[in-house]
Amino acid sequence: MQDTKPHAAILASPGVGHLVPVIELGKRLVTHHGFHVTIFVITADSSSSAETQLLSSQNPNVLDIISLPRVDISGLLDRAASIVTKIIVMMRESLPGLRSTILSMEYRPTVLIVDLFGTEALDIADEFEMSKYVFIASNAWFLAITIYVPTLDEREEDDHVDGQKPLKIPGCEPVRFNDTLDAYLDRSDQLYGEYIRIGREICTADGVLLNTWEDLEPKTVKALRDPNLLGRVTRVPVYPIGPLAREIGPAVSNNPVLNWLDVQPTESVIYVSFGSGGTLSAEQTIELAHGLELSRQRFIWVVRPPLDNDASGSFFNAGNVADGMSSFLPDGFMGRTKNLGLIVPMWAPQVEILAHPSVGGFLSHCGWNSTLESIIHGVPMIAWPLYAEQKMNATMLAEELGLAVRSAELANGVVGREEIKKMVRRIMKDKEGYMIRKRMKETKDKALEALSKGGSSDESLSRVVEDCVIGLQ
């Protein structure tokens, strides 16, 4: 039977960090706006178990999830290609599969929403006369820079090439060019060209949905809407619809991490995690271990083997985790800290941890999902960005919003143990941490208000929905 609901298709980029907010967007369109939603995903042999689990745990009565046919991109890439380049190429090669799947659907979607790396699919929306939107899983700063850099690129002389000069993006605090996106630092890399293309293609959409809310970045959102500030690019309507963040899952019984948290004092634990795939160097891992130990603060640390550690292979062997870890943690560390903290190999139930009253701080790589999860649970942050747009998020959190502390030592490569101890104590013990926690809780209230019925993000998404439905008539 033909469904009479409006039908939106969402094209997701691979990776947990992209899938999480796309799924939340889909669920919101279904439960708040009466849409039927199909999410197209691209899976690969290299897909992580976290990705597979996230997809398989979705309720099929809420979301249709279709895996596009697998493509072989091995002959299309340099051996040194970055993970983001691989994702972009995989998305490009999946477009024929997307096109033929949409073509064969009896109940055709009338709206196509593409994630950042899927902007080439906007042509398919044109071909099938669908409305077309881009969903940025990140914030307004990220959108501003992504559509501003192509303008810079067109200038004959670019004085940002040394990376140090602050970039003044209209509506944003000045940010060191080195702190924007790694992709912009090497113009000869394929990724640079891909980002410039994406920046231009975004502006051809009917609108851009952002995983932020008006009140968090009012100046940037205003600048994005002002055709005099960002030039040609701002003709595209901008809709802040966030924060779209994962909710706590069904009660997890007998999870050792949560059981341990249950018996710790309120706001006494610092949670340390670098996202779905972040790793540190061997030297930095040692310094972090010592820093946590020196801080004498309770901790949960999601540990991954350093990429430059010879023993990292053995870490993955079931039953050999403790042996693997002792090869890259300081001698005796596990024994000395066994009453102080918990080491969790590879993956932890992050949202449930951040929601737990015993957690009082989050040392984070500042991926945008982690940031939103921290805000939604009112947990102050230590910003420790690694790659992608994380340095920009860290600048925004520490320098504009006052929701995090950040160490100047990060710019030197390795942050020393004394500095780590200091940062942990600043956030967990000092007046500074108290003030950040207070601001974080105020920000959380505003975030929830934006999402509630009649709030700015709820209204923004309603406007998109109205435009889509009008477009159908």
Q: Is 160 a catalytic residue?
A: no
Q: In the bound complex, which residue of the shown chain has the CB atom lying closest to ligand UDP? A: 17
Nearer to ligand UDP, 150 or 306 (CB): 306
Residue 25 Rama label (left phi>0; alpha psi -120 to 50; beta): alpha
Q: Which of 273, 285, 457, 460 binds ligand UDP (CB under 6 A)?
A: 273
Residue 11 CB, shortest distance to ligand UDP, in Å, is: 17
Residue 386 CB, shortest distance to ligand UDP, in Å, is: 8
Q: Which of 8, 9, 20, 205 binds ligand UDP (CB under 6 A)?
A: 20
Residue 17 CB, shortest distance to ligand UDP, in Å, is: 2
Site for ligand UDP in 240-259 (CB under 6 A): 246
Partnered with residue 240 across adjacent β-strands are 210
Residue 347 CB, shortest distance to ligand UDP, in Å, is: 4
Catalytic residue, chosen from 36, 64, 115, 160, is 115
Site for ligand UDP in 277-316 (CB under 6 A): 277-278, 302
Q: Which of 109, 118, 150, 275 binds ligand UDP (CB under 6 A)?
A: 275
Q: Which of 181, 241, 348, 394 binds ligand UDP (CB under 6 A)?
A: 348
Residue 63 CB, shortest distance to ligand UDP, in Å, is: 17
Q: Is 18 a catalytic residue?
A: yes
Residue 358 CB, shortest distance to ligand UDP, in Å, is: 17
Catalytic residue, chosen from 7, 18, 36, 356, is 18
Site for ligand UDP in 363-392 (CB under 6 A): 367-370, 373
Q: Which of 146, 276, 297, 407 binds ligand UDP (CB under 6 A)?
A: 276
Site for ligand UDP in 149-208 (CB under 6 A): none
Nearer to ligand UDP, 53 or 259 (CB): 53
Size of the site for ligand UDP (CB under 6 A): 19
Stretch that binds ligand UDP, among 162-170, 224-232, 275-283, 401-409 (CB under 6 A): 275-283
Stretch that binds ligand UDP, among 55-63, 269-277, 453-461, 463-471 (CB under 6 A): 269-277
Q: Which residues are catalytic?
A: 18, 115
* Residues binding ligand UDP (CB under 6 A): 16-17, 20, 246, 273, 275-278, 302, 347-348, 350-351, 367-370, 373
